Amino acid sequence: MKASEPARGMTAAIVARHSNGPGARAQGVYRALRRAIIEQALRPGMKLPEDTIGENLGVSRTLVREAFGRLAVEGLVELKPNRGATVAYPTLEEARDVFDVRRGLERMVAETLSGSLTKPQAADLEAHVRLEEAALGKDGPESIRLAGEFHIRLAELTGNALLLRYVQEVSSRCSLILAIYGRPHSSECAVSEHRQLIEALLAGDAARASQLMDHHLQAVAARALLAPRQERDIRELLIPYALSEGLAQT
């Protein structure tokens, strides 16, 4: 790969698209990598050489490293000294930790929103759920993305910026986790559960909303993490070994 070669690939467009003030390129790299990881263009465990990424995105290693730092804090990439960065490959234990924290955070969201949710806000959420419903048929990644977005929207409505950031972070990590351990056909979020939740929030029933959220996420985690089928399990078990041999990188 020659340095003179211009940026290419789907991620380069993202960098260029957004406002090009100062610091915008750095953020662009971060966003590009983040999306690439969550959408599994970059698969868990994959090596991320600084200069290769930089060439493909049209920036220097400096900005790539900066992005790696942020992504490492968020748990999306692993950063080993002198050995470079890889897309994070969370263990089952880490996965459970993330899901546990997520349940706790989203219960907070439910409790905060309970009663304070306005009619128009609820209507917006309803509209979102209808989108989910529409996307349910076509199995594309659209359905998964929308389901995740629902939770982000809820967190936004709390008006608590820190809570939002944490929910976004655990959501990202859950995407990564589901990419590794999730069953192929899990529709992840049952749309009806989202509906019930909105209802409970509007009714101001904090306890019920909290319970619903908890069960909902527990169901997601269970579908993903528990009782993994043999077939898939052995395949997954092999990946770390393949990686240590430098294989399975495509």
Q: Which residues bind DNA (CB under 7 A)?
A: 3, 22-26, 48-52, 58-63, 65, 81-85, 246
Q: How far is the CB of 69 from a second copy (least distance, A)?
A: 5
State which residue, 23 or 140, has the beta carbon closest to DNA: 23
Q: How far is the CB of 38 from DNA (least distance, A)?
A: 21
Q: Which of 172, 152, 174, 149 is nearest to 163 (CA)?
A: 152
- Could you say whether residue 247 binds a second copy (CB under 8 A)? no
Q: What φ, ψ does residue 115 adopt, rounded to 5°?
A: 90, -35
Q: Please report, as a single letter, which amino acid is at residue 240.
A: P
- Could you say whether residue 66 binds a second copy (CB under 8 A)? yes
- Could you say whether residue 75 binds a second copy (CB under 8 A)? yes
State which residue, 53 or 117, has the beta carbon closest to DNA: 53
CB atoms within 10 A of CB 159: 11
Cα four-point dihedral sign 21, 24, 28, 31: negative
The string of DSSP codes covering 80-144 is ETTTEEEE----HHHHHHHHHHHHHHHHHHHHHHTTT--HHHHHHHHHHHHHHHHHHSS-SHHHH
- Residues 87-126, one symbol each (x = binds a second copy by CB under 8 A, - = not), give -------x--xx-xx--xx-xx---x--------------
State which residue, 66 or 236, has the beta carbon closest to a second copy: 66
